[in-house]
Amino acid sequence: MFSLRALGLVAALAVVAISQTVSAQAIVEKRTFEIANHTTRNGTALAGVKVGWQSMGTLNADRSNAILVPHFFSANSHFAGRYAATDAAPGYWDMLIGPGKAIDTDRFYVFSVDSLVNLNTGDGRTVTTGPASIDPKTGRPYGNTFPVVSIRDFVEVQKAVVDSLGIRRLHAVVGASMGALQALEWAVSYPDMVARAVPVIGTGAMDDFTRAWLNLWAAPILTDPNWKDGNYHGGPAPERGLTEALKFITLHARAAPWANTLGANKAAQGQDPAKALTQKFQIEAILDGAGAARGRISDAAHLVYLVRANQLFLSEYDSMETAYARATARFLILPAASDILFPPAMSKALADLLQRQGRTVEYAEIPGTGGHVDGITAPVLQVADRIKAFLER
């Protein structure tokens, strides 16, 4: 079998686990935040919305040292630290966030919130509300009666947490990938509450090319016979489609050297792809294993809803210009050089727009050949000093 940590979406975790000393670990606690009555942006009333959240550091007396870290597509609020000293790996950005690190938890109160429709329904450490959750009105899973939500909805839930903490203004919102989209949606939605935004491996706009790719991510789930229009909960899940979708996302977040190293231009052990369609190349078998492993802790409908949430990034504004004209934050924009999902040109377009609009904006590319994940793996350390300096200015 394949080790999820060695191969899948979370290879970053293994790298971090190896490169850091086991001592001096930050132990963090998963908490649950509940909103009794919540109305989504499309006007649907939801009762008893629950999301998990995590914090590190101490909120200061005037509550001015808070940094929000929204998470990426396949992650949750576990941005750093360990739940227990025995955890195999810490949160995904542990290399960046902690005592004395680029985002210094000796100075800043850093927190994150599990998104609505979070992918990781089965990991035992994610608290979320989505189609797989029980609708208190019916006592059964929402399924496709759960409303479409957007990146803006994620921001609204985070806003409820921020309000509950008495925070009036965030020192910064820093996020990778979908976390970057949330950082930007925050800066546009609540300009007075966001002093700094650090979108890492993000994009300033959801273009139709990316929307179409996201549509294709979900396609294998929608063609799975167990999909049943999203109302499969309680019965067999569209596992095969979910596996294929997760393979897709894994590949899209990488680049050629990753696949070519893993695949080694070989057939899977004991197989010959020239003999039968069912016999595979090694890279295919590896991706099958990684997708299936990840699928065991994920929910297919949540993936489909997450796709739509991302497609709806900044969709409440007429144009990118209109949206960003609202923002007053200072920006540090950090794409990964070899990213094929959100190529640097998308971040550069945002930097150029913000500059035209008179904003303070810094831009740097994360060097590397690993693709999108270079923003959450070791290569991101190359911009750690820039992040640290930006947060102190």
* Contact set with a second copy (CB under 8 A): 41-42, 144, 148, 150, 207-213, 215-216, 219-225, 230, 238, 240-241, 244, 247-248, 251, 254-256, 258-260, 262-265, 273-277, 281-284, 287, 304-305, 308, 311-312, 315, 340
Minimum Å gap between C-beta 78 and a second copy is 28
Calculate the alpha carbon distances from 226 to 114, 222, 230, 236 in Å: 27, 9, 9, 6
Minimum Å gap between C-beta 177 and a second copy is 18
C-alpha 378, offset from chain centre: 17
CB-nearer residue toward a second copy: 111 or 258: 258
Calculate the alpha carbon distances from 31 to 74, 128, 380 in Å: 19, 12, 28
372 is catalytic: yes
CB-nearer residue toward a second copy: 90 or 230: 230
Minimum Å gap between C-beta 167 and a second copy is 28
CB-nearer residue toward a second copy: 192 or 318: 318
Task: Find the catalytic residue in 55, 177, 298, 338.
Answer: 177
Alpha carbons 344 and 365: distance in angstroms, whole number: 7
Is 71:178 a contact under the CB 8 Å cutoff? yes
C-alpha 128, offset from chain centre: 14
CB-nearer residue toward a second copy: 83 or 281: 281
233 is catalytic: no
Place of tokens 């020192």: 171
Minimum Å gap between C-beta 262 and a second copy is 7
Minimum Å gap between C-beta 27 and a second copy is 38
Using alpha carbons only, give the angle 77, 81, 84 rounded to the nearest 5 degrees: 105
Alpha carbons 95 and 102: distance in angstroms, whole number: 8
Minimum Å gap between C-beta 323 and a second copy is 12
- The neighbour count for residue 240, using CB atoms within 10 Å, is 18
Is 333:218 a contact under the CB 8 Å cutoff? no
CB-nearer residue toward a second copy: 58 or 319: 319
Is 21:82 a contact under the CB 8 Å cutoff? no
CB-nearer residue toward a second copy: 240 or 359: 240
**Which phi and psi angles does 253 have, rounded to 5°?**
-85, 0
**Which phi and psi angles does 298 have, rounded to 5°?**
-120, 160
CA atoms within 13 A on the CB side of 225: 0
Minimum Å gap between C-beta 53 and a second copy is 25
Closest alpha carbon to 17 in 74, 113, 70, 85:
85
CB-nearer residue toward a second copy: 55 or 129: 129
Provide the strand spans (E) within 86-232: 97-98, 103-104, 109-113, 134-135, 140-141, 172-176, 196-200
Task: Find the catalytic residue in 153, 224, 339, 374.
Answer: 339
Active site residues: 177, 339, 372
